Amino acid sequence: MRVVRRLTELGEVLDAERRAGRTISLVPTMGALHEGHLSLVRLARQSSDVVVVSIFVNPLQFGSGEDFQRYPRDTEGDLELLRGERAEIAFLPSTADTYPPGATVTVSAGPLGDVLEGAARPGHFDGVLTVLTKLFHLVEPDIAIFGQKDAQQVALVHRLVTDLNFRICVVVAPTVREADGLAMSSRNVLLSADGRKHALALSHALLLGREELERGGDVSAAVSIMREHLDAADGAEPSYADAVDPLTFGPPQPGGDIVLVVAARFGNVRLIDNEPMTNGGRRKE
């Protein structure tokens, strides 16, 4: 595996791959890799000749007072895991190269970036889409792979690719969970022992919402049940619980697909989770 830090080197290596007719996939990450990330890398491995995994803790997507400084970082461990997955390129750009001095131009996520996760973290999705635009230009992948774990990010990536005319196929991989149901996240290592137990409230709330829909209950009943569960949960400071259209993040369309979304803070660790459902109230993978 080649570890690339300079943008010029990345361009040279990938130009050669493209000239040789090889297809390229990109898995964007912020590092502190876990099985969820690795599932994306495996999907990339199956879908393309050259797998590029980027590791960059993007300062632009963290608000002031958020956890940029204490976000987990483990470059050596990450590279070891990526070698194990036979990725061709680990791309670790510097912040100075990614955001040239004096940079002022950014990508705006639009209204979809202002609701739910975007309302709780103003500017977050502008930062996400700005760095993804840069990565898409630098890597020019045929395929980009994202986790369903970040459902609103997935919706926004679809908008980004459509609205800015990227010729990239977006692939979405299911959420990988711990045995007890907690969605894997780099932030899980920041949880206290109690926080780790309390954090199960998220997947439990989703399970209750899902069961309500599966029983034929309506969306508002499912949302109420999820909210009640989070409000009553030990050690949880709920941020939101809702049921939305997976593409617009507005109200679900009659008969349309639904994604149940939840977010809460456990101590000083904010976690999110979601459950995609089909229009018939069935679980969707």
Q: Encoding tokens for residue 76?
A: 């050596």
Please report how close the Cβ of residue 175 comes to ligand AMP at its closest, in angstroms.
Answer: 4
Of the candidate residues 184, 190, 243, 263, the single one contacting ligand AMP (CB under 6 A): 184
Question: Which parts of 150-239 fold into alpha helices (H)?
Answer: 151-163, 193-198, 200-214, 219-232
Binding segment toward ligand AMP, per CB under 6 A, in 28-36, 205-213, 224-232, 268-276: 28-36
How many residues interact with ligand AMP (rule CB under 6 A)?
Answer: 17
The closest of 280, 201, 269 to 241, measured between CA atoms, is: 201
Measured between alpha carbons, how far is 64 from 164 in angstroms, rounded to an integer?
A: 28
The residue (of 219 and 259) whose beta carbon lies closer to ligand AMP is: 259
Largest CA distance in the chain: 58
The residue (of 77 and 251) whose beta carbon lies closer to ligand AMP is: 77
Out of 34, 37, 198, 204, the active site residue is: 37
The closest of 184, 178, 175, 138 to 154, measured between CA atoms, is: 175
The residue (of 184 and 225) whose beta carbon lies closer to ligand AMP is: 184
Please report how close the Cβ of residue 248 comes to ligand AMP at its closest, in angstroms.
Answer: 19
Q: Is 78 in the site for ligand AMP (CB under 6 A)?
A: no
| Residue 209, C-beta contacts closer than 8 angstroms, at least 6 positions apart | 222, 223, 225, 226, 241, 243, 260, 275
Of the candidate residues 4, 10, 24, 40, the single one contacting ligand AMP (CB under 6 A): 40
The residue (of 188 and 239) whose beta carbon lies closer to ligand AMP is: 188
Binding segment toward ligand AMP, per CB under 6 A, in 15-23, 30-38, 257-265, 268-276: 30-38
Of the candidate residues 36, 72, 127, 141, the single one contacting ligand AMP (CB under 6 A): 36
Q: Is 186 in the site for ligand AMP (CB under 6 A)?
A: yes
3-state secondary structure of 258: strand
The residue (of 28 and 281) whose beta carbon lies closer to ligand AMP is: 28
* Residues 123-182 interacting with ligand AMP (rule: CB under 6 A): 146-147, 149-150, 173, 175-176
Whether 124 is catalytic is no
Catalogue the long-range contacts made by 9-18 (C-beta closer than 8 Å, 24 or more residues apart).
10/89, 10/91, 10/93, 10/138, 10/139, 11/138, 13/89, 14/50, 14/52, 14/89, 14/139, 14/140, 17/49, 17/50, 18/140
Q: Is 30 in the site for ligand AMP (CB under 6 A)?
A: yes
The residue (of 149 and 210) whose beta carbon lies closer to ligand AMP is: 149
The closest of 116, 106, 105, 96 to 56, measured between CA atoms, is: 96
Q: Would you tell me how many other CB atoms lie within 10 Å of the CB of residue 186?
A: 19
Q: Give the binding site for ligand AMP (CB under 6 A).
A: 29-30, 36-37, 39-40, 146-147, 149-150, 173, 175-176, 183-186
List residues with catalytic annotation: 37
